[in-house]
Structure 1
């Protein structure tokens, strides 16, 4: 069916069920501490900001008429088809637009205030009017400009630019807690006080869509440069990731021939390339999947099959409520960000690779020459086990959380 006159829709991503289609660790100087439970946007206990500032921290008051110390926020579409990025502001001065159309290869340059907290996601298969956009994934109540988070499932890029006990740290992550729809990469644009952070410590990526994965290599130069090899997950192939989403969590599962009588859930039906996946919590709101009620305890709430699959595919991404310490990245405030949809390369594996170095940074408050040398050491990187092989928090990271508060002043002064 053709869109109505004056309307546009993308055809790379199947608008509905039966249509098939053919981007770190920002632990630049810190490791995350987070104690809050994270729920998907459609959950009744959902809160936007899971990394609030200390109650003792007083945020400076700035006039609304003029943005002071603007932070670059860039959105790039590397997908083969048009997407409609959505942006939601939880606090601070938001970007110039909260929703817009972005064609293949296009980039939108914006700025946000230095205390901005918000999220960015991609909407797909939208039919648009003057100020409307009805989308298959990430929909904002049918509006082009988003006022709230998009409809699940969506891959989220989340930022708190002025977090921590002093408000001088940036927290960020790639989250699959709301599910997954598009590959996402985060590229850090350093400020004057953060240029010493190795790029392979900060630029995270999650790629779980066939066709965007490059050949399996433990290291490479995607999202970094030749001096600082980026660690990647090596367990996945384009063929393998096609079936990563549990069958019953697919947003648009393909129809089963023969009256649907097939082995469940591992039937051999070919899935579409664009195969958005709901998280277990977003799909069912079950307390055991959402870590609510009697399950509101990290010792009680266990990872679901979805959380295990998502963490295997994207080791540096949030996959369920108690995933904070292997998924939240913290660096000194100041730099800008680029959110890249559909980056080519591989999912990054930064946290499990550089755990010891991040602990050293957290303890000393400095990126030492030794840490930089390790960040450049190809042999060291290739010797480290992949985070996808061990879904529990690495022991090397366990001591970092206690050191974070001490690091804040040392790094940001």
Structure 2
């Protein structure tokens, strides 16, 4: 992917952008963190529960080589699934399949500035996330003896799959998730997808649509969502840009965050690896006076507290009784197009005609997108009619329309009442996407 961003070597936490290639890691930036017993211990499951979960999960399908990445989909034609690593270090993508034929693997190592091309069946439902700082044994069946805990505990600092390279279901929180249901809707002719921070955030992620020649054409600034909430990866503040699109179709951006400010978005008590206390054991107040690490994974409120209020469970299981937490509001401010809590549907779920392929990009260029707030009406038109109209094209090619969004009453994390076609579609989307949460 072009236009990679990197921190200038030796720069401060304001994340000045330099020309150093992403493939070479600045000295002060690292996804790696030394394993300790405290930080690498995975949440344990009893043996019987663990085996029960494994028995209920689908087996990944057989991998097939893709010589030409296209997305002409029929019921018998596989769908391209590409995973790209633009991060400055190796990551270990995890893939969980809930329905259909998966890509033939549940996880693998992916070097910096590389990609892996795979396929899934047209009825695939699943999720993809990035694992960081992993160390496996030679068989990939458990942590390496080099992880500092004698081969026990977790193999990865975030996103771990019970120490295994080949994930069988979802990873240990916090993780930034890309979620897909390729056969959504009552007739299976729609694709639902989203970026989810419901379980937390670890690294930046984007979802890029691969158009199919035999499906309705959709402008790229309506489909290609990104969540970039790590210092040093943001381009300069702007209301729109052209990452993963083109000059004809400007993509709406979250415009307020800076590399310096975004370092502190995660509530202090939800940091997975908070900074070490000063020598006297007393934190300065406020907490943001302590410089945080660039790699600063953030637990969601639900993942941290398991409180029904935060998780929208029990008597709080409904959009009228479950409100966004402070974490959810912070997450929505830095990633407007991402799910921030269970009932964050309308400004989080993308719905388009089925048939195209998908690329998941870790550490994408640009900024977090703001597509659903700015172009929500246009996406509703496509979701209800299945095709793009001239009126939609006129709007999505207009830079002035994007620039005027705040004046039309827009704001980060704005949620409009459900109604009409979108309300019906989102009921279906919610049912399908909730089923994907293992």
- Counterpart selection for 2:401 from 375, 380, 403: 380
How far has the Cα of 1:215 moved from its partner? Answer: 0.3
Q: Which runs of 5+ in 1 are unaligned?
A: 1-10, 19-41, 49-62, 409-413
| Number of aligned positions between the proteins | 356
- Counterpart selection for 1:15 from 6, 30, 33: 33
Greater shift, 66-75 or 99-108, is seen at: 66-75
The DSSP-based 3-state class of the residue aligned with 1:242 is: helix
The DSSP-based 3-state class of the residue aligned with 1:277 is: coil
- Counterpart selection for 1:313 from 334, 338, 354: 334
Q: Counterpart in 1 of 2:78?
A: 70
- Aligned mates of 1:127, 1:338 — CA distance in 2: 26
Alignment of 1:98 with 2:119, yes or no, is: no
- Aligned mates of 2:63, 2:378 — CA distance in 1: 43
Q: Counterpart in 2 of 1:58?
A: none
Alignment of 1:303 with 2:324, yes or no, is: yes
Contact 2:94 2:167 (8 Å CA) reproduced: yes
How far has the Cα of 1:183 moved from its partner? Answer: 0.2
Higher relative contact order (CA 8 A, sep 6+): 1
- Aligned mates of 1:65, 1:252 — CA distance in 2: 36
Q: Which runs of 5+ in 2 are unaligned?
A: 1-28, 37-44, 54-60, 65-74, 144-154, 430-438
The DSSP-based 3-state class of the residue aligned with 2:178 is: strand
Q: Spell out the pairing of 1:6-405 with structure 2 (5 A cutoff).
A: 12-16=30-34, 68-132=76-140, 133=143, 134-263=155-284, 266-385=287-406, 389-394=411-416, 398-402=419-423, 404=425
How far has the Cα of 1:195 moved from its partner? Answer: 4.9
How far has the Cα of 1:401 moved from its partner? Answer: 2.0
1:119-171 CA deviation, whole Å, 9 max, x = no partner? 00000000122232510000011111000100000000000111211112111
How far has the Cα of 1:223 moved from its partner? Answer: 1.5
- Aligned mates of 2:234, 2:215 — CA distance in 1: 30
Contact 2:185 2:425 (8 Å CA) reproduced: no
How far has the Cα of 1:364 moved from its partner? Answer: 4.0
Contact 1:352 1:385 (8 Å CA) reproduced: no
- In the superposition, relative to structure 1, how do residues 170 and 103 fare at CA in structure 2: closer, same or farther (>3 Å)? same
How far has the Cα of 1:192 moved from its partner? Answer: 1.9
Contact 1:153 1:279 (8 Å CA) reproduced: yes
Q: Counterpart in 1 of 2:13?
A: none
- Aligned mates of 1:343, 1:195 — CA distance in 2: 26
TM-score (norm 1): 0.80
- In the superposition, relative to structure 1, how do residues 127 and 185 fare at CA in structure 2: closer, same or farther (>3 Å)? same
TM-score (norm 2): 0.76
Contact 1:99 1:145 (8 Å CA) reproduced: yes
Contact 2:207 2:358 (8 Å CA) reproduced: yes
How far has the Cα of 1:17 moved from its partner? Answer: 8.1
How far has the Cα of 1:402 moved from its partner? Answer: 4.1
- Aligned mates of 2:129, 2:63 — CA distance in 1: 27
How far has the Cα of 1:399 moved from its partner? Answer: 3.5
The DSSP-based 3-state class of the residue aligned with 2:235 is: coil
Give the RMSD, CA atoms, in angstroms: 2.8
- In the superposition, relative to structure 1, how do residues 126 and 388 fare at CA in structure 2: closer, same or farther (>3 Å)? farther
